[in-house]
Structure 1
Amino acid sequence: MKTELLTSKDIQHAGGLLKAGEVVAFPTETVYGLGADATNELAVKKVFTAKGRPADNPLIMTVADVQQLDAFVVISEAAQHLMAVFWPGSLTIILPTKPGKVSMIVTGGLQTVAFRLPDNDVARAVIRAAGVPIVGPSANTSGKPSPTTAQHVWHDMNGKIAAIIDDGPTQIGVESTVVDMSSKVPTILRPGAVTQQQLQDTLGVTVIDATSTKSVASDVIPKAPGMKYRHYAPDKKVIMFDRLDALDLKRILQSNDVVMAQDTTIAVMQLSLEQSWSLGETLENATEQLFAGLRFYDDEEQITTIYVEKMSPIGIGKAFNNRLAKSAGNQEFSI
Structure 2
Amino acid sequence: MPDQPNPSGGAPGAPESRDSGDTRATIDAAQIDHAAALLDAGELVAFPTETVYGLGGDAESPAAVGRIYAAKGRPANHPVIVHLAPHGDPRYWVEQLPADAQRLIDAFWPGPLTLILKRAAHIPSAVSGGQDSVGLRCPSHPVAQALLDAFSARRGGHGGIAAPSANRFGHVSPTTAQHVRDEFGSAIHVLDGGPSKVGIESTIVDLSRGFPALLRPGHVTPQDIADVLGAMPRLADGADATAPRASGTLKAHYAPRTPLALMPFDALKPLLVAARAAHERVALVARASRAGHWADAKDVHFVAAPEDPHVYARDLYGLLRALDRANVTRILIEKLPDTVEWIAVNDRLGRAAAAFEASD
TM-score range, shorter chain: 0.7 to 0.9
Distance in 2 of aligned mates of 1:321 and 1:103: 34
Distance in 1 of aligned mates of 2:63 and 2:243: 22
Identify unmatched segments of 5+ residues in structure 1: 1-5
1:192 aligns with 2:214: no
Q: How many aligned positions are there?
A: 320
1:262 maps to which residue? 287
1:134 aligns with 2:161: yes
2:229 maps to which residue? 203
Query: Kindly tell me: are residues 31 and 265 of structure 1, through their superposed partners in 2, closer, same or farther at Cα, counting changes over 3 Å?
Result: farther
2:334 maps to which residue? 309
Distance in 2 of aligned mates of 1:324 and 1:167: 26
Q: Which 10-residue stretch deviates more, 197-206 or 276-285? A: 276-285
| Conservation of the 8 A alpha-carbon contact between 1:187 and 1:208 | yes
Alignment of 1:1-335 (within 5 A): 7-9=26-28, 10-65=31-86, 67-73=88-94, 74-99=96-121, 101-131=122-152, 132-161=159-188, 163-210=189-236, 212=238, 222-228=244-250, 230-245=252-267, 250-254=272-276, 255-266=280-291, 269-271=294-296, 275-300=301-326, 302-329=327-354
Distance in 1 of aligned mates of 2:216 and 2:192: 26
Coordinate RMSD, CA, aligned: 2.5
Superimposed CA distance per residue, residues 108-128 of structure 1 (whole angstroms, 9 cap, x where no aligned partner): 111110001112111111111
Q: CA deviation at 1:149?
A: 1.1
Q: Identical aligned pairs, as a percentage?
A: 37
1:3 maps to which residue? none
| Conservation of the 8 A alpha-carbon contact between 1:191 and 1:211 | no
Distance in 1 of aligned mates of 2:113 and 2:72: 23
Distance in 2 of aligned mates of 1:222 and 1:149: 30
Please report the TM-score for the alignment, with normalisation by the length of structure 2: 0.82
Superimposed CA distance per residue, residues 215-264 of structure 1 (whole angstroms, 9 cap, x where no aligned partner): x99xx995211223631112221001224556555534434211122343
Distance in 2 of aligned mates of 1:315 and 1:26: 30
Please report the TM-score for the alignment, with normalisation by the length of structure 1: 0.88
Query: Kindly tell me: are residues 105 and 159 of structure 1, through their superposed partners in 2, closer, same or farther at Cα, counting changes over 3 Å?
Result: same
Q: Partner letter of residue 27 of structure 2?
A: S
Q: Partner letter of residue 177 of structure 2?
A: A
Q: CA deviation at 1:331?
A: 7.1
Query: Kindly tell me: are residues 102 and 292 of structure 1, through their superposed partners in 2, closer, same or farther at Cα, counting changes over 3 Å?
Result: same
Superimposed CA distance per residue, residues 65-102 of structure 1 (whole angstroms, 9 cap, x where no aligned partner): 25332211121111000000011111100011122x21
Query: Kindly tell me: are residues 211 and 156 of structure 1, through their superposed partners in 2, closer, same or farther at Cα, counting changes over 3 Å?
Result: farther
Q: Which 10-residue stretch deviates more, 70-79 or 256-265? A: 256-265
| Conservation of the 8 A alpha-carbon contact between 1:283 and 1:311 | no
Please give the secondary structure, in 1, of the residue aligned with 2:88: helix
